[in-house]
Structures are given as structure tokens and as C-alpha cells.
Amino acid sequence: MLVSVYRYNPETDKKPYMKDYQVEIPEGKDLMVLDVLALIKEQDESLTYRRSCREGVCGSDGLNISGKNGLACVTPLSEAVKGGKLVLRPLPGLPVIRDLVIDMSLFYKQYEKIQPYLINDQPAPAIERLQSPEDRAKLDGLYECILCACCSTSCPSFWWNPERFVGPAGLLQAYRFLADSRDTATQDRLANLDDPFSVFRCRGIMNCVNVCPKGLNPTKAIGHIRSMLLHKEI
Amino acid sequence: MGVSITNFGRSGLHDWMIQRASAVILAVYSVFLLGFFLTHPDLQFSEWKALFGHLGFRIFSLLALISVCAHAWIGLWTISTDYLKATGIRFVFQAAYVIALFVYLVWGIEILWGV
Ligand code: SF4
């Protein structure tokens, strides 16, 4: 099978280029894209990519796979190969450090901005802060995010304004803490999101929903944040 | 996160609400005009003039005109901050549409109250 891979080593290459590899795929098996990368690495040790858990939990091998962002470890070739060819590029919109490895600083900066931790100004109870099963259920579909960045790097608003638009991943987490009954900083959190960029750069095109490997829905979370802001103002 | 001085409302939420409200006003205005044309198949100038002679319709038209200006301001501001990365070019573009919208508004008022 033909695999075309984005290559760029800033120390030796003037420009990024696509390099083609012929890879022998074992018969009768639907390999994951990550397995194919391992096979290429056997041919060409200089290829660089991130990976860790190899089962869709750590979120480190997000790639642009034949035009669609996804995790290499959980994307089977049967889904990824188009016209007998597999095309692998780094996640778009962020600077490339080398080959398929991107610099995620801006992504993390936006995540940091939404204060992704529980804030509670009440004295801590002896054992733990309790939450009813109903309130706990509100966090479903939010807490599962693994910060792979597939969503934010598929979002044009994040491409154009990565310094100012929080992006789908960060906003999903922002809502995860807004929705948490144990958090007491709701008003401050909302006040920090009210500017024209942080939330409102979302135009609702739902690229994020389309690519999330965990099946989460950042657009819906952004809608909830908007209505919370609206309720606060009216 | 500071609010940009060139955006329209006081906050992102404000812009967003104005964008939606102006869209609704423009939709209602368009439907009204469409209805007017459909119920007046061979429209004469006198009927057209009578429509605009009505104070209520003039107010409605002014509201629609203000909606166009607000809607365009917010939309063009968004586009300019997405795609025009050079500050100088962005500023010239923003100044141009603000002036153009202002001219349309004054000109529109002049037309509405001139009939
Ligand atoms: S919302 Fe989904 S796509 Fe976005 S960072 Fe989280 S797991 Fe990845």
C-alpha cells in the first residue's frame, strides 16, 4: 500500500515535503494507522511522531489522516485509505516541530485560560464534596475529553485566532466546570468568557463534532455556555 | 481579555444578540415587502408612495436600515479580524465600512423622510 507522509526537519529541510512509502500490509487484518506508522519507522528511522497508550486514551497521536483529524491508534485502515492510498499529515493550524509532531503550546494556553480545575470557596468537608447522581450525570459527555486537539485543529476559527479563541476543546472543558454543582466560581468563569473572541468566534460549523474520537459534542457545550451568558445578562 | 475598540457592542454576547435580533428584523421586513409585492401585482407609483407615506412603515424601514448597518458592522468586523492580519490594512478596511454604513444610514433617513 502507498503511504504518503508529511516530512519536515527544520534543521535540514528548507520546506516541508510529502514522502511516499510502500508498506506491506499483512493479509486479512484491518491494521490501525498507528501500526502502519510503526511499519514505516522500521524502513525509515528518521520519521518522528508522538504516541503512547496506543488505544485511544492518552490522546497523543492525533493526526490528519487522509484529510480528516483523528487518532492514529483507533483509526482502522478500512476507514482511512482512500483510493488505495493513505495520506498522513500533522494536525493543521499549529506550528510543526518536526514531521508529524506539532507544537501544542497555544492549545494548552487556551486550556489553561478556562481554569480547568474545581474552584470552591467553602471550607473543605472532612471526606469529600458530595454530589447527587443527577448533578453528576450533567458531567457526562464532558469529562471524557482526552485533550487530543483533533477538534480545535479542525476548527477554522481556531486556525485564524488561536491566541484569542478558546477553541472547542477548551470550551468543552469550560462548560464541564460551569456545569459542576460543586464549583462556586460560575459567575467569574462566565465573566471571563464574555469577550468577542473566547466563545463567540464559534460559528457553529461543527467540524469539532465531526472529528472527536471520543464522540463528544463541543458545539453543544458552547451552546450551553452561550445560554448561561444570556441568562446572566437578561 | 479586553474588548476590541472597533467591535460593535459592549461584549461578545452583545454583538451576538444584536446579530440575531437584526437578522430577525430583516427577515420580517423582507417577508412584509414580499407580501406587499404579491398583493399588489401591478404596482403603481402612487401605491408605493402611499406605503412610504405611512409613519409606521417609515419607522419599520428605519429599523430595518439600522439593522442592516449593525448586522454588517458585526459581520464585517468578524471577517476582518479573521482574515486581515496586518493591523494597517485591517484598520483601513474597518474605517471604510464604518464610513460607508454611516453614509447609507444618513442617506437612507434622508430618502425615507424625503418622500
Ligand atoms: S473534545 Fe474530543 S477531539 Fe476535542 S480534544 Fe477532547 S477528545 Fe479530542
The pLDDT tens digits for A156-205 are 999 999 999 999 999 999 999 999 999 999 999 999 999 999 999 999 99
pLDDT at B2 over 50: no
CA distances from A20 to A23, A25, A100, B23, B36 (A): 10, 15, 14, 50, 64
Cβ-Cβ pairs closer than 8 A, A with B, add up to: 39
Phi/psi region, residue B57 (left: phi>0; alpha: psi -120 to 50; beta: rest), is alpha
Angle between helices B55-83 and B12-39 (to 10 degrees): 130
| C-beta A171 within 6 A of ligand 1 | no
Prediction pTM value: 0.91
Residue B58 amino acid letter: R
Three-class SS state of B68? helix
How many Å is the Cα radius of gyration of chain B? 17
Model pLDDT for residues A92-101, shown as the tens digit of each residue: 999 999 999 9
Q: Supply the ipTM of this predicted assembly.
A: 0.82
- A161, with CB counted inside 10 A (0-12, 13-18, 19+), is middle
Q: Using the beta-carbon criterion (under 8 Å), do A233 and B13 form an inter-chain contact?
A: yes
The H-assigned helical ranges of A65-205 are 77-80, 105-113, 133-137, 156-160, 167-178, 186-191
Give the minimum alpha-carbon distance from B16 to chain A in angstroms, rounded to a whole number.
7
Q: Report the share of chain B in percent with pLDDT over 70.
A: 95
A196 Cβ under 8 Å from any chain B Cβ: yes
DSSP B37-60: HHH-TT--HHHHHHHHHSHHHHHH
Which residue's CA is the closest to the ligand 1 atom numbered 7? A145
A192 in contact with B, Cβ within 8 Å: yes
Residue A116 CB contacts under 8 Å (≥ 6 apart), including other chains = A173, A176, A177
pLDDT at B10: 73
Mean pLDDT of chain A: 96
Cβ-Cβ contacts under 8 Å, B19 against chain A:
none
- Is A115 in CB contact (< 8 Å) with chain B? no
Query: What does the alpha-carbon distance between residue A21 and residue A37 come to, in Å, rounded to a whole number?
Result: 10
From A64, A107, A150, A211, the mutation candidate for ligand 1 (largest count of ligand atoms within 8 A of CB) is A150
Pocket flag, ligand 1, residue A212 (CB < 6 Å): yes
| Subunit contact A194:B7, Cβ cutoff 8 A | no
**Which residues of chain B does A199 touch, with a Cβ-Cβ cutoff of 8 Å?**
12
* Span B12-52, pLDDT tens digits: 999 999 999 999 999 999 999 999 999 999 999 999 999 99
The amino acid that residue B100 corresponds to is A
The residue with cell 419599520 is B60
Residues of B in Cβ contact (< 8 Å) with A156: 82
Find the angle CA(A108)-CA(A56)-CA(A107) to the nearest 5 degrees. Answer: 10
**Which contiguous run of DSSP H or E holds residue A17?**
strand A17-22
Contacts of B16 in chain A (CB under 8 A): 200, 226
